[in-house]
Chain A
Amino acid sequence: MTAPATPAPRTVPTPGADAPAPLDRRGLVVGVSAVAVTIVAVFVGSEGLRWFDAALAGYLAGTLFAIFGVAYRYTVWLRRPPTARLNRRGWEAFLRPGRRGRNVAHLPGLLVRNVLLQTFILRRSISRWLAHQLIFWGCVLAVLVTFPLTFGWLHFQSVGQDAQQYQAFVAGIGTFEFASRSVLGWTIFHLLDIAAILVLAGVAIFLGRRLRDPGAIAIERSNDFLALAGLFAVSVTGLMLTVSSLWMEGSFYVFLTNLHALTVILGLLYIPFGKLFHIFQRPANIGIEYYKTEGARGGALDCRSCGKPFASALQIGDLEAILPRLGFDYSLADGDNYQRTCPRCRRRLLTQAQSARVRGFG
């Protein structure tokens, strides 16, 4: 793709000046398609709605909205010039003939380190990493339990006439059996309580940090608290259901059921808009890893000022192509581009120009 000769008008609005944008057609198509695929999967997976639990219909509606919203936003996000280019470059690097085997072999390690264990957070601080891991695994556990239940993909049946013996069915196929009064049975029926406790522990650590750290307080936004408040509300109202049935003889159970459903559905509605969208965005880091490897293989670019190599020629070329589309023109009088200057020389040039303007030692 070649860049247009004249810079396009700046696309990112200044704070407070954003006009309402029209709906993105491709985003709509992708969003609606994702919802349609999910509905078909629900229908098939629940054996024609035979195992679909009507009591969970509200959760399904919330989930479908979240799927639409996430698919829509992801599609729109991928169309921003820098995102589109890095997305394409990432896949090109991954699928490069002669490199595919190595790239695939490299993938599990990247997924474990960057997506599952998030070791990059561990190097920032242990408490942050622990909090993030607790919330991450709590949410993963909750999603693995609730989505199949909501979609009608998972149900339990007693085995024959033995009321104590249960069997789990996934998409109508019988899987493992367990005794409902066993440790395994107790654990399975309390998986969501366990998830809630994991999430609450993580929320407590994050909240403590947000309330105490002056640096965090200075730069935080309402979004940061909203995400924590949502996770807290979902977990606490969910736990209250167990509390009601175990120790309150079922008091307020119906009210609590509705309250929990409300928090979960609001949470699902929030996912595409707020901070939690990073769940879908941040894994793009995997593509960047391949892009960086590709850039390193392709050779470095020498700084036009000091002559030393400073970045991959691939990435500087990409920036030179993207910048005019974003409304920037860093071309120089001699036909070269300022972007071919290394960051250190950029700082030096500024200082030398300023110092010369005030005739040194102003």
Chain B
Amino acid sequence: MIGPSALGDGMFVVDPSRCIGCEACVQACGECGTHRGRSLIHLDQVDRSTTVQTVPMVCMHCEDPTCAQVCPADAIKQNEDGVVQSALKPRCVACSNCVLACPFGVPKYEADFDLMMKCDMCYDRTSQGVAPMCASVCPSQALWFGTPEEFADTRRGTLTNEFQFGNETVRTRVHTVVDEPGPLQVTAGPTESPWQDDPFGLATVEA
């Protein structure tokens, strides 16, 4: 579906489990050339009282973007590299359909600009083979950019770009890390994840 690209074999990998919540990416994102001064990455906390896990979120760049499909103004375009771009400024009518429909919760409605803005994978950088701003500063490699070979050489885990939300399977350009191959079931598990009581998985280690 996605042909030869300006991104070469560069691959953006998000591994939220490695996020330490340092907010370097939040600062770096604001330096992105395509939306200077506005940080568009999300960094939340799950629940400070029960876990130190933090939630980094960049645009996953869906192959069939829900945001673009629900846009009444046809303002969200996917370029030839499969990068889903921020809303076209002359077209966006600021209805927030995309903000509410995105399964990953990515687009931001910027009230003062009356405009939706979102991560465009630092296309000014990635199209030149350079890592996105956030990945270039992430100290724990929760946000990582490189080739599949580099990933295989330096990282553990398997890559997936399939996410299951109820009956909907979403394929994305950005990958995440899982244990075994197969889509990530986002909505299948309980809301409160049991690993919080056992973050290092010690209980599951065979005696």
Q: What mask results when residues 96 to 127 of chain A are scored 1 for a CB within 8 Å of chain B, else 0?
A: 00000000000000000010000010011000
Q: For B112, what are the chain A residues with a Cβ–Cβ distance below 8 Å?
A: 120, 123
Q: Judging by beta carbons under 8 Å apart, are A357 and B32 in contact?
A: no
Partner of B100, one of A15, A275, A319: A319
Q: What's the least CB distance linking B123 to chain A, in Å?
A: 5
Interface magnitude class on chain B? 35 or more
Q: Judging by beta carbons under 8 Å apart, are A347 and B95 in contact?
A: no
Q: What's the least CB distance linking A53 to chain B, in Å?
A: 33
Q: Judging by beta carbons under 8 Å apart, are B191 and A349 in contact?
A: yes
Is A362 an interface residue when CB atoms closer than 8 A count as contact?
A: yes
Q: For B177, what are the chain A residues with a Cβ–Cβ distance below 8 Å?
A: 354, 358, 362
**One of B22-30, B64-72, B145-153 at the interface:** B64-72
Is A344 an interface residue when CB atoms closer than 8 A count as contact?
A: yes
Partner of B124, one of A86, A217, A311, A347: A217
Q: Judging by beta carbons under 8 Å apart, are B201 and A278 in contact?
A: no
Q: Judging by beta carbons under 8 Å apart, are A356 and B189 in contact?
A: yes
Q: For A346, what are the chain B residues with a Cβ–Cβ distance below 8 Å?
A: 102-105, 186
Instruction: Tell me the chain B residues, 54-106 only, with Cβ under 8 Å from chain A.
Output: 54-57, 63-64, 66, 68-74, 78-80, 85-86, 88-91, 93-97, 99-106
Q: What's the least CB distance linking B165 to chain A, in Å?
A: 5
Interface magnitude class on chain A? 35 or more
Is B114 an interface residue when CB atoms closer than 8 A count as contact?
A: yes
Interface centre among B3, B94, B189 (most CB of A within 10 A): B94
User: From DSSP, what is the main secondary structure of chain B's interface residues?
Assistant: loop
With A278-B91, A330-B166, A351-B46 already in contact, the answer to whether A358 and B57 are too (CB < 8 A) is no
Q: What's the least CB distance linking A256 to chain B, in Å?
A: 31
Q: For B7, what are the chain A residues with a Cβ–Cβ distance below 8 Å?
A: none
Q: Judging by beta carbons under 8 Å apart, are A215 and B33 in contact?
A: yes
Q: Judging by beta carbons under 8 Å apart, are B101 and A319 in contact?
A: yes
Q: Judging by beta carbons under 8 Å apart, are B72 and A284 in contact?
A: yes
A184 to B91, CA, bound (A): 38
Q: Judging by beta carbons under 8 Å apart, are B165 and A338 in contact?
A: yes
Q: Judging by beta carbons under 8 Å apart, are B74 and A331 in contact?
A: no
Q: Judging by beta carbons under 8 Å apart, are B80 and A16 in contact?
A: yes
Q: What mask results when residues 333 to 353 of chain A are scored 1 for a CB within 8 Å of chain B, else 0?
A: 100011100111111111111
Q: Judging by beta carbons under 8 Å apart, are B90 and A331 in contact?
A: no
**One of A29-37, A76-84, A163-171 at the interface:** A76-84
Q: Judging by beta carbons under 8 Å apart, are A360 and B17 in contact?
A: yes
A86 to B92, CA, bound (A): 13
Is B136 an interface residue when CB atoms closer than 8 A count as contact?
A: no
Q: What's the least CB distance linking A98 to chain B, in Å?
A: 24
Give B46's nearest chain A residue, CB to CB.
A348
Q: Judging by beta carbons under 8 Å apart, are A354 and B17 in contact?
A: yes
With A285-B93, A328-B168, A330-B166 already in contact, the answer to whether A219 and B80 are too (CB < 8 A) is no
User: From DSSP, what is the main secondary structure of chain A's interface residues?
Assistant: helix
A37 to B44, CA, bound (A): 56
A242 to B189, CA, bound (A): 73
Q: For B198, what are the chain A residues with a Cβ–Cβ distance below 8 Å?
A: 360
Q: For A322, what are the chain B residues with a Cβ–Cβ distance below 8 Å?
A: 70
Q: What's the least CB distance linking A111 to chain B, in Å?
A: 14
Q: Judging by beta carbons under 8 Å apart, are B184 and A354 in contact?
A: yes
Partner of A86, one of B44, B46, B72: B72
Q: Judging by beta carbons under 8 Å apart, are B104 and A347 in contact?
A: yes
Give B112's nearest chain A residue, CB to CB.
A123
Is B193 an interface residue when CB atoms closer than 8 A count as contact?
A: yes
Instruction: Tell me the chain B residues, 91-147 only, with Cβ under 8 Å from chain A.
Output: 91, 93-97, 99-106, 112-115, 120, 123-124, 127
Q: Judging by beta carbons under 8 Å apart, are B165 and A12 in contact?
A: no
With A291-B95, A333-B166 already in contact, the answer to whether A362 and B15 are too (CB < 8 A) is yes
With A219-B120, A361-B200, A362-B157 already in contact, the answer to whether A354 and B16 are too (CB < 8 A) is yes
Q: What's the least CB distance linking B206 to chain A, in Å?
A: 13
Q: For B71, what are the chain A residues with a Cβ–Cβ distance below 8 Å?
A: 82
A216 to B86, CA, bound (A): 12
Interface residues of B (CB under 8 A from A): 1, 3, 15-19, 32-36, 42, 44, 46, 53-57, 63-64, 66, 68-74, 78-80, 85-86, 88-91, 93-97, 99-106, 112-115, 120, 123-124, 127, 156-157, 163, 165-168, 176-179, 184-189, 191, 193-195, 198-201, 204
15 A/B residue pairs, CB under 8 Å, sorted by A = A10-B64, A14-B64, A16-B3, A288-B94, A328-B66, A342-B105, A347-B106, A353-B188, A355-B193, A356-B189, A358-B17, A359-B201, A360-B195, A361-B199, A362-B15
Interface residues of A (CB under 8 A from B): 10-12, 14-16, 77, 80, 82-83, 85-87, 114, 120, 123-124, 213-219, 275, 278, 281-282, 284-285, 288, 291-292, 305, 311, 315-316, 319, 322-323, 326-333, 337-339, 342-362
